[in-house]
Amino acid sequence: MITTTGTMPAYEDLLSENERLKIEISNLKRLIFGQKRERYIPVNPINQLLFPGFDQKEDVQIETEQISYTRKKSVKKVVPHGRNRIPAHFPRKEIIIEPEEDTSGMTRIGEEITEELEYKPGTFYVNRYIRPKYARPDGEGVVIGMLPSRPIEKGIAGPGLLAHVMISKFVDHLPIYRQRKQFLRQGIDLAESTINGWIKSSYELLIPLYDAQRAQVLQTDYLMADETPIRVLDFLKPGTTHRGYYWVYYDPVRRMLFFDYRMGRSRAGPNDILKDFKGYLQSDGYKGYNEVNSQPFVTGVGCMAHARRYFVEAKKADSERSEWMLLNIQKLYKVERWAREGGLSYDQRYSLRQKDSVPILAEIKNWLDGEIVKTLPKSAIGKAIAYMLNQWSRLEQYVTDGRLEIDNNLVENAIRPIALGRKNYLFAGSHEGAKRAALIYTMVANAKLQSLEPFAYLRDVIARIADHPIKKIDDLLAFNWKITDSSS
């Protein structure tokens, strides 16, 4: 909004509005044509440190220091030249091709083997349970075998088919109507309402496991949190969609998470879920987390990636200040890369940060304090500096504990499948449908975090959960899951 002095806009307001429009156009071009990554790569790292007025051809004295630490030596795998080998676990169908010439009297001296990878579309098969009935002598009744527990009583779908439908939609982002077309090509005509009913029944079956997953995640003392929107059809407003939100809570130490659906983005979501939480809560600067962070037993941790994002956006308008900050944030990430590639323990990472990251953070803070008074508050660089200063106590918190991450990227990575899904199935059919999706996203995401094949995990859990003791429900969590005969 431009203020006016008399009949003419103030000069500073015109400059601010002009800068805002330039940045908006630049961001739109980057969104459409540019790279999505935010990692800063300077064109000339040395010249970035030179001050105006100095001859850039002169030798620059750069202070150096020797850093030593012990790390695990990685073993390089020898990769043979040529195409990748076909995995050995795939079944082989042997086809013997004898020479056309008569080989009688010849000695076989060897063979040439050529492997060809083939594909057969997924096929249906029927489990036909045949239970003979026997009459007891003297008319004392009839004996018959008991049917095993089935995911949907009196339903025709088995655990594998239910798992396939959910994996296809929530992992492979294949809407139900497209799955129905695939089934039709194989001679199976299933109504969309039938398939949606299967998903609903599977959801109800998995609710105890979802509740157990949430309870497990909330037992930690270090959580990451983030949220992402989802459009939901609202029967109260035909022809329109409601903007709901998935809130994601992630334990980066044990690598487990859960999705929570809420009808809005208000603070009620995290306030409800985290009402008993004690420990570190890492998030961006969204105010919805403020009440939780203000609790006496909660310590807020910031996200350096979000702070960096503002300087990336301001680079077109003020390249000198933006590049100074991006270069120094890059130094902080270089320390994190050393720790990660070196396989350092949490204690070792803490020591490395105290030695290398803390001085960089102190230099950044001094720069921010000096530059905030030299920039227009409404300018892009002014907003970037103000955001970082407002978040400073949370941004520097990560160096106080070796378990803490420098940013929130791990939980953001968990949200990406939802963004892909939105492009395919566009919206959830109802708020209840969005809740069901949150449960399935939770199951699938945890399987991936534990390096499990999602279909095998979900199929086994659906087959077992009806008869599984509720007191041992944690055994079915991806974190604890062990393969069984039914999942092979």
On whether residue 357 sits in a domain, the answer given is yes
Domain residues for the domain of 324 are 304-407
The pLDDT of residue 91 is 84
Which of 375, 407, 439 is where one domain is finished?
407
Cα of 349 vs its chain's centroid, Å: 24
Q: Phi and psi at residue 59, in whole multiples of 5°?
A: -65, 140
On whether residue 208 sits in a domain, the answer given is yes
On whether the CB atoms of residues 305 and 408 are closer than 8 A, the answer is yes
On whether the CB atoms of residues 367 and 324 are closer than 8 A, the answer is yes
The pLDDT of residue 55 is 47
Q: Whole-angstrom Cα distance, residue 126 to residue 391?
A: 59
Weakest-pLDDT range from 58-62, 81-85, 360-364, 446-450: 58-62
* pTM confidence score: 0.78
Quick one: which of 269, 171, 255 has its CA closest to 227?
269
Torsion 394-399-404-407 (CA) sign: positive
Residues 175 and 272 placed together within one structural domain of the fold? yes
Residues 330 and 359 placed together within one structural domain of the fold? yes
Whether the per-residue pLDDT at 487 is higher than 60: the answer is: no
On whether residue 108 sits in a domain, the answer given is no
Q: Concatenate the DSSP letters of all residues of 219-258 into one string.
A: TSSEEEEEEEEEEEE-TTSTT-EEEEEEEEEEETTTTEEE
Whether the per-residue pLDDT at 102 is higher than 90: the answer is: no
Pairing of strands 8-9, 133-135: unpaired
In this structure, the number of other CB atoms found within 10 A of the CB of residue 473 comes to: 16
Whether the per-residue pLDDT at 48 is higher than 50: the answer is: no
SS (H, E, C) 334-348: HHHHHHHHCCCCHHH
- The contacts of residue 349 (CB under 8 Å, 6+ apart) are 339, 402
Encode burial over 337-357: b for 16+ CB neighbours within 10 A, e otherwise: ebbeebebeeebbbebbeebb
Q: Exposed, middle or buried, 141 (CB in 10 Å: 0-12/13-18/19+)?
A: exposed
Whether the per-residue pLDDT at 141 is higher than 80: the answer is: yes
On whether residue 353 sits in a domain, the answer given is yes
Residues 289 and 435 placed together within one structural domain of the fold? yes
Q: For the segment 148-159, what is each residue's pLDDT rounded down to a tens digit? A: 888 888 888 999
Residues 357 and 424 placed together within one structural domain of the fold? no
Residues 188 and 325 placed together within one structural domain of the fold? no
List 223's β-bridge partners, or say none.
281
Q: For the segment 361-408, what is each residue's pLDDT rounded down to a tens digit? A: 999 999 999 999 999 888 899 999 999 999 999 999 999 999 999 999
Quick one: which of 206, 191, 409 has its CA closest to 305?
409
In this structure, the number of other CB atoms found within 10 A of the CB of residue 440 comes to: 21
Residues 378 and 331 placed together within one structural domain of the fold? yes
Report how many helices (DSSP H) and strands (DSSP E) the chain contains, helices first.
15, 9
Mean pLDDT, range 28-51, rounded to an integer: 57
Residues 180 and 289 placed together within one structural domain of the fold? yes
On whether the CB atoms of residues 40 and 329 are closer than 8 A, the answer is yes
Residues 430 and 332 placed together within one structural domain of the fold? no
On whether the CB atoms of residues 205 and 159 are closer than 8 A, the answer is no
Which one-letter DSSP state was computed for residue 428? B
Residues 338 and 287 placed together within one structural domain of the fold? no
On whether the CB atoms of residues 441 and 246 are closer than 8 A, the answer is yes
Q: Exposed, middle or buried, 101 (CB in 10 Å: 0-12/13-18/19+)?
A: exposed
Into how many domains does the chain fold? Answer: 2
Mean pLDDT, range 175-184, rounded to an integer: 90
The pLDDT of residue 66 is 66
Mean pLDDT, range 125-129, rounded to an integer: 88
Quick one: which of 49, 13, 75, 105 has its CA closest to 331?
49
Q: For the segment 301-336, what is each residue's pLDDT rounded down to a tens digit? A: 999 999 999 999 898 888 999 999 999 999 999 999
Average pLDDT for the chain: 84
Residues 398 and 290 placed together within one structural domain of the fold? no
Is residue 279 very low, low, confident or very high in pLDDT (cuts 50, 70, 90)?
very high
Residues 186 and 279 placed together within one structural domain of the fold? yes
The tokens describing 303, both together, are 């996200």
The tokens describing 453, both together, are 């094949």
Whether the per-residue pLDDT at 49 is higher than 50: the answer is: no
Which of 381, 407, 433 is where one domain is finished?
407
On whether the CB atoms of residues 397 and 301 are closer than 8 A, the answer is yes
On whether residue 43 sits in a domain, the answer given is no
On whether residue 181 sits in a domain, the answer given is yes
Q: For the segment 204-223, what is each residue's pLDDT rounded down to a tens digit? A: 999 999 999 999 999 999 99
Q: Whole-angstrom Cα distance, residue 10 to residue 345?
A: 56
From its phi and psi, is residue 111 left (phi > 0), alpha (psi between -120 and 50) or beta?
Answer: beta
On whether residue 343 sits in a domain, the answer given is yes
- The residue behind tokens 């950044």 is 364
Is residue 175 very low, low, confident or very high in pLDDT (cuts 50, 70, 90)?
confident
Q: Exposed, middle or buried, 293 (CB in 10 Å: 0-12/13-18/19+)?
A: middle
Is residue 112 very low, low, confident or very high in pLDDT (cuts 50, 70, 90)?
confident
Residues 274 and 336 placed together within one structural domain of the fold? no
The tokens describing 434, both together, are 């969005």
Which of 386, 407, 428 is where one domain is finished?
407
Longest dimension (CA), the chain: 112
On whether residue 432 sits in a domain, the answer given is yes
